[in-house]
Structure 1
Amino acid sequence: MTPDTSAKTLYTRLLRHVWPYRAALLVGMLAMIVGGLADAALVKLTGPLVNELFVNRNKDLAILLPLGVVAVFVVSGIASFTAGYMTQWASNKVILDLRGLMFANLLKLPPAHFDDVTTARLVTRFTNDVTNIAAASASVLAVLVRDTVTIVALLGILFYSNWKLTLIAFAVIPPVAIIVRVFGKRLRETSRGSQHAIGGIAAVLDETIANQRVVRIFGGQEYEAGRFREANERIRRFNMKQSVAAGASVPITQLLVAVAIAAIIYFAAQLAFVGATDVGTFVEFIAATGMLLQPLKRLTGVNEHIQKGLAAAESVFGLIDEAPEDDRGTFVLGRAQGAIALENVTLTYRSQTQPALEGISLSIAPGETVALVGPSGGGKSSLIHLLPRFYHPSSGRITIDGHDLESLTLASLRQQIALVSQNVVLFNDTVAANIAYGRLGTTSVADIKRAATAAHAMEFIRTLPQGLQTEIGENGAKLSGGQRQRIAIARALLKDAPILLLDEATSALDTESERAVQAALETLMEGRTTIVIAHRLSTIERADRIVVLASGRIVEEGTHAALLARDGVYAGLHHLQGRSGS
């Protein structure tokens, strides 16, 4: 279902988020009204200033009227400060709420969503897009309220002076409305394109910084510079399209307004020539007419900010409205025994036509260690990604202790599973926080140390500057590969889940690190149902059972010795690795 992105719907949704802070906004709007009236009052003072001081030479008002001008400026300044502070306070609270809603939904999105969206594009929604909403809202509100009040007050002065001449100003309203509508659509389109372009440049930056070692080793600087130039140029093009649309509408509107003002001044001068008005009233009328230009100019330019805000609102609400991960299960599973069964399971990813898994049937007993082997693309990772319900089978079903995975709540299902993968994910925090990730507030230091000791990690943790409280950098940049793996194993030990998934956990390690990690893994695997993916067949020879996957199907199954004796796919893989020295 396509979300409604009409201006009315977006305005209504924004208003709902602004509503809790209506008191602050009301104070701000009242201050804007006072400021607008103060601007008009300054014009109204020009008539008495001219008539009383320069025509009638009234000495009694020689001090009072100038003080009145000062008073008007003081009131205008206080009103401007109050309005600015209150609107910024409210808009920043709205930003806080929207970011909170976006992040809360981000945590609930299915893993498949992140296959299609770049991290950089998501980051720009949190930084650029949501800030554009607030900036547009604050500036638009200030212009709409204060300048509208100023214009209405000035028109009141003009009507009071000469209502016939003032009607000329209304002749420009229909053509101005048409111009605003035509250019508004173009502005919104270019604003939307600009936001996507900013996401593109953020993606290039993110990839280049994250992979800067590869860029240097393979001499990719020029290639990355080219990608950056292209993304940068795309932003420039959209910004220029925006500037053309915004820049064209303002002078056309101003020309129409200027013609109307010129006509008013001409006819007002004719009245002055025949003595139909006094000097003060004439000056007041001309001042009010001239002062109309600036607020009218700001009002005609406000459409650019409105369209930027609407385009940003589309992006922000689009993320908030993304369907969360399917959690229709209602059964809360206690600690599982660890029996796993796949019954004729097929999986086809949304972006593919060929199934990643086809007709998989497999039963794993509690505490059994099953190794998945086979050529790349055979479906090994796809199979283990089904168990925590990162993806749903296209057909067939999976059970844990006889309970269909789809009937379980996600929280209780994932409580049963621990994962250690080749690409260890660590956070820019302390060693202790990474080991106790997700349960730091409820875990004692003693428990963290026990898990680290069992994972053979304390031997290097003790050498770190602050021990368990040492910051390890982004994704554990300050640690070696083997040290990162042992931190991940300690995290899994602390979770103490009955089902363990090991995805290439030792494939990228040197021999010495692999021995330490393998010892830690053996401790971790004790008493747990374990599914291991390994390209190094030597690491899974002692598995209870080996399952060979190829092209999404199980082609062989048995113990290491039995599969070698069969002289099939597994034996061929083993022979190749033995010959290459693996």
Structure 2
Amino acid sequence: MNQNSDFSTRATFRRLIPYISPHKRGLYAACLALIVNAATDAGLLSLLKPLMNGVGFGSVAPDSLRWLPLAVIALVTIRGLSGYASDYCMAWVSGRVVMSMRRQIFNHLMGMPVRFHNSNSSGSLLTKITYDSERVASASSDTLISLVRNTASIISLMVLMVWNSWQLSLVLLIAAPVIALSVKAVSGRFRRISRDLQNSMGSVAVSTEQMLRNHREVRMFGGQTVERKRFADTSDEMRKHGLKMVSVAALSEPFIQVIASLALAAILYAASFPSVLETLSAGSVTVVFSAMFMIMRPLKSLTSLNAGFQQGMTACHSLFSLLDMPKERDEGTLTGEGIKGEIEFRNVSFRYENSEDYALRNVSFRVPAGKTVALVGRSGSGKSTMVSLIPRFYDDYEGEILLDGQELRSYRLKSLREKISLVSQHVHLFDASLADNIAYACPEHTTREEIRDAASRAYADVFIDKMPDGLDTLAGENGVQLSGGQRQRIAIARALLKKTPLLILDEATSALDNESEHAIKMSLDDIKQQCTVLIIAHRLSTIEACDEIIVMDDGRISERGHHKELLQQTGLYSKLHEMQFAAQQ
């Protein structure tokens, strides 16, 4: 993530304002209600003056006793209504802010390049959408509620004190700058600890995600001890950062309270002078000292508020750093209408980020529209890298890749990918019905008959019809309810339903049994005249009838031709074929 951007509270909060601005009416209503709520405290306290200016209740005028109960009821009612209004309005504003931010982050993550997802775990990214956004909610609601309410309380109580005795109130004006400087001093510490706390939260999420995702490997290889220790270390690190946060907050609160108590002691001392006492009534003295004691509570709340606010600002910075990262480049203008599916590589070279070795080295070949071409070779020879460049999962390659004579980067990403179907060896299914998985992201007008036809052509209807709910059977998370071969057939059906001019099968038949593989081969024979097909296969029996076979070795094309021609050349393809034939004996 980008850690070089401005990390100051002011800059971060300034970036948060555009998310709040559309809902400023709710914010203004909440702030007004908070101010009214805080003013009722001063109003209730001011009722002590008419009671204390006499000597006991017997000296109070009867008229005062009649309206004071009504005033108390009115003020308490106003306090309750304003408190409800402020909480509701702030919850509405914060909910809207977090919702819009989460949506923007979600959309931004969908637009990030494959390189980004390769270098960031899904657990850490999930933490940003959940934990970090909740911290933002705290900064934009709870923190703001406490800030406005307690600030308004302090101001209203200070006004009440000044109104009754401006001489005694001067002491508070001297203490205020000292308190402000103390709060500022601990803010930086809070920010640093908050950043460490969020990083440790991400580590906990990553550790948990890896254990849950790889639970079979953990059990099979006896990795419980390793995972237990990893999680214990990360959770202990998080505990330490949390404890530091509490420690700093716990130390700052009594420190500021000591400063406030010194101001209170100064007021008590100043009140002992006869010249001051002569100007004060009993009611004024009672109100001033009561207001001074009441200021301690909102002052304490504001001090503890700093920790939560800094956590929120740290979370905001984390999210803004993510949003500042560039999305996939999409500068093309072509819509791809009428594409036939001709693919051509011209002197294409490519290497992955942080790798010095090239995965592809000066690769050139052409696949005419409607032809079926196979890519074979040893593992790591560059086959999957080559087909991942066609949908522009990576677009920083050297050379040119043409689709129907136009460079891939001249097409709009959405239009380009609408013309390509990809089935990889690592099939990903959604926790939905088999029908929904086959028709994923297809137009809503796709009929049930079309879905069933695609399943039949992928030889998936054989096992689907045996299930109690048929196409309505739930696949489970990532297709956990299905076998590997069944998942691949569902993925192939999904690709066939899309009906694109270019079909890419990256080891799509690796988990199929011989009978299913034969059915898929028959299906491919039916559709290969309708689209261009690129097949990556280690099982050479699936590609013998291809129009051309390209043999890859160390990122280069070492051989190309038909099946029989390559066998006669006694090169790499012939050796691979002999090894597979011998293994089947």
For residue 47 of structure 2, the aligned residue among 41, 45, 48 is 45
Correspondence 1:68 to 2:45: no
Paired residues of 1:367 and 1:528 also in contact (CA < 8 A): yes
2:130 counterpart residue number: 127
1:258 counterpart residue number: 261
1:448 counterpart residue number: 451
CA shift for structure 1 position 273: 9.7
- Superposition map of 1:68-467 within 5 A: 68-270=71-273, 276-467=279-470
CA shift for structure 1 position 317: 1.9
The one-letter amino acid paired with 1:45 is L
Counterpart Cα distance in 2 of 1:276 and 1:266: 15
Counterpart Cα distance in 2 of 1:412 and 1:158: 70
Deviations 1:253-285 (A, max 9, x none): 121111112221232244599555332221111
CA shift for structure 1 position 382: 0.6
Equivalent residue of 2:348, what SS?
strand
CA shift for structure 1 position 350: 1.5
TM-score between the two structures when normalised by the length of structure 1: 0.95
Counterpart Cα distance in 2 of 1:522 and 1:271: 108
Counterpart Cα distance in 2 of 1:479 and 1:272: 90
Equivalent residue of 1:112, what SS?
helix
Which shows bigger deviation, 267-276 or 224-233? 267-276
The one-letter amino acid paired with 2:52 is V
Correspondence 1:27 to 2:29: yes
* RMSD, matched Cα: 2.0
Deviations 1:503-524 (A, max 9, x none): 1112233444444444444444
Counterpart Cα distance in 2 of 1:548 and 1:16: 55
The one-letter amino acid paired with 2:117 is F
- Superposition map of 1:513-528 within 5 A: 513-528=516-531
CA shift for structure 1 position 384: 0.3
Q: 1:12 to 1:55 in 2, by over 3 A?
A: farther
Paired residues of 2:381 and 2:554 also in contact (CA < 8 A): yes
Paired residues of 1:489 and 1:524 also in contact (CA < 8 A): no
Deviations 1:378-408 (A, max 9, x none): 1111100000011014310100111111111
Q: 1:517 to 1:235 in 2, by over 3 A?
A: farther
Instruction: Count the aligned residue pairs.
Output: 582
Paired residues of 1:340 and 1:401 also in contact (CA < 8 A): yes
Counterpart Cα distance in 2 of 1:140 and 1:271: 44
Counterpart Cα distance in 2 of 1:13 and 1:488: 42
Paired residues of 2:551 and 2:558 also in contact (CA < 8 A): yes
Q: 1:515 to 1:216 in 2, by over 3 A?
A: farther
Q: 1:461 to 1:269 in 2, by over 3 A?
A: farther
Counterpart Cα distance in 2 of 1:36 and 1:522: 78
Counterpart Cα distance in 2 of 1:229 and 1:66: 59
Equivalent residue of 1:62, what SS?
helix
Q: 1:147 to 1:126 in 2, by over 3 A?
A: same
Counterpart Cα distance in 2 of 1:112 and 1:459: 38
Which shows bigger deviation, 27-36 or 48-57? 48-57
Counterpart Cα distance in 2 of 1:524 and 1:241: 64
TM-score between the two structures when normalised by the length of structure 2: 0.95
Counterpart Cα distance in 2 of 1:515 and 1:318: 50
Counterpart Cα distance in 2 of 1:3 and 1:277: 56
CA shift for structure 1 position 200: 1.2
Paired residues of 1:49 and 1:65 also in contact (CA < 8 A): no
Equivalent residue of 1:335, what SS?
coil
The one-letter amino acid paired with 1:292 is I
Counterpart Cα distance in 2 of 1:437 and 1:70: 61
The one-letter amino acid paired with 1:296 is L
Paired residues of 2:138 and 2:309 also in contact (CA < 8 A): no
2:571 counterpart residue number: 568
Deviations 1:404-455 (A, max 9, x none): 1111111221122111111111111111211111124131222212222222
Which shows bigger deviation, 549-558 or 521-530? 521-530
CA shift for structure 1 position 176: 2.2
Counterpart Cα distance in 2 of 1:442 and 1:319: 37
Stretches of structure 1 that go unaligned for 5 or more consecutive residues are: none
Paired residues of 2:457 and 2:520 also in contact (CA < 8 A): no
Correspondence 1:555 to 2:545: no
Paired residues of 1:201 and 1:232 also in contact (CA < 8 A): yes
The one-letter amino acid paired with 1:392 is D
Q: 1:535 to 1:162 in 2, by over 3 A?
A: same
2:494 counterpart residue number: 491
CA shift for structure 1 position 97: 0.8
Runs (4+) of structure 1 exceeding 6 A deviation are none
CA shift for structure 1 position 223: 1.4
Counterpart Cα distance in 2 of 1:98 and 1:8: 19
CA shift for structure 1 position 12: 1.9
Paired residues of 1:345 and 1:393 also in contact (CA < 8 A): no
The one-letter amino acid paired with 1:50 is M
Paired residues of 2:362 and 2:556 also in contact (CA < 8 A): yes
Which shows bigger deviation, 216-225 or 49-58? 49-58
Equivalent residue of 1:8, what SS?
helix
Counterpart Cα distance in 2 of 1:395 and 1:161: 80
Q: 1:289 to 1:55 in 2, by over 3 A?
A: farther
Paired residues of 2:332 and 2:412 also in contact (CA < 8 A): yes
Equivalent residue of 1:134, what SS?
helix
Counterpart Cα distance in 1 of 2:435 and 2:229: 42
Paired residues of 1:10 and 1:314 also in contact (CA < 8 A): yes
Paired residues of 2:433 and 2:473 also in contact (CA < 8 A): yes
Which shows bigger deviation, 541-550 or 79-88? 541-550
CA shift for structure 1 position 64: 2.9
